[in-house]
C-alpha cells in the first residue's frame, strides 16, 4: 500500500475532507469505457479490491494527527468530513457519478491513531 493525500479541502464549519483522485479503468480491457462502469456498486467493489478502504482510514488518521496539532479545539467528530475518492474517468452526467464517499467514525480514527503512535 503506497500513496499520498492528493488534496485536503477545507469546508464550512470548519470541516476538512480528504480528496483522492483515481484514474482506474473499471471496464473490461477489450470494451469501450462507459459511465455504466462507474456505478456505485462498481466503485465499492474497486475500493475493496484495491484496498482503498484501508488507504482512506490511514489518510484520515494522518489528517487527524495534523489537525490535532494545528487546530485549536479540534474534535474529530466535528472537524473530519470524510474521504472522497474521485474516479475521474467516470465523473460525467449524473451528479456524484464516479465519486465514492466515506467517513470513518471519529472513535475509530482516534483508536487507530493511538495504536499506530503508541498513544501519541
Q: What is the pLDDT of residues 20-75, one digit of tens each?
A: 999 999 999 999 999 999 999 999 999 999 999 999 999 999 999 999 999 999 99
Burial status of residue 109 (CB atoms within 10 A of its CB: 0-12, 13-18, 19 or more): buried
Look at strands 80-87 and 99-102 and give their pairing. Answer: antiparallel
Point out the residues that are catalytic. 20
CB 69, CB 76: distance < 8 Å: no
- Does this model's pTM top 0.85? yes
Query: Chain-wide mean pLDDT for the chain?
Result: 95
Q: What is the pLDDT of residues 71-92, one digit of tens each?
A: 999 999 999 999 999 999 999 9
Amino acid at each position: 500500500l503506497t500513496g499520498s493525500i492528493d488534496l485536503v479541502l477545507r469546508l464550512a464549519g470548519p470541516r476538512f475532507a480528504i480528496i483522492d483522485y483515481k484514474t482506474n479503468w473499471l471496464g473490461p480491457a477489450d470494451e469501450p469505457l462507459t459511465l455504466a462502469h462507474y456505478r456505485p456498486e462498481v466503485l465499492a467493489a474497486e475500493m475493496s479490491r484495491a484496498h482503498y478502504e484501508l488507504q482512506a482510514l490511514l489518510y484520515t488518521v494522518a489528517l487527524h494527527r495534523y489537525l490535532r496539532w494545528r487546530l485549536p479545539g479540534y474534535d474529530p467528530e466535528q472537524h473530519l468530513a470524510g474521504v472522497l475518492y474521485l474516479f475521474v474517468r467516470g465523473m460525467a452526467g449524473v451528479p456524484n457519478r464516479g465519486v465514492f464517499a466515506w467517513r470513518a467514525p471519529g472513535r475509530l480514527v482516534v483508536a487507530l491513531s493511538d495504536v499506530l503512535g503508541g498513544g501519541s
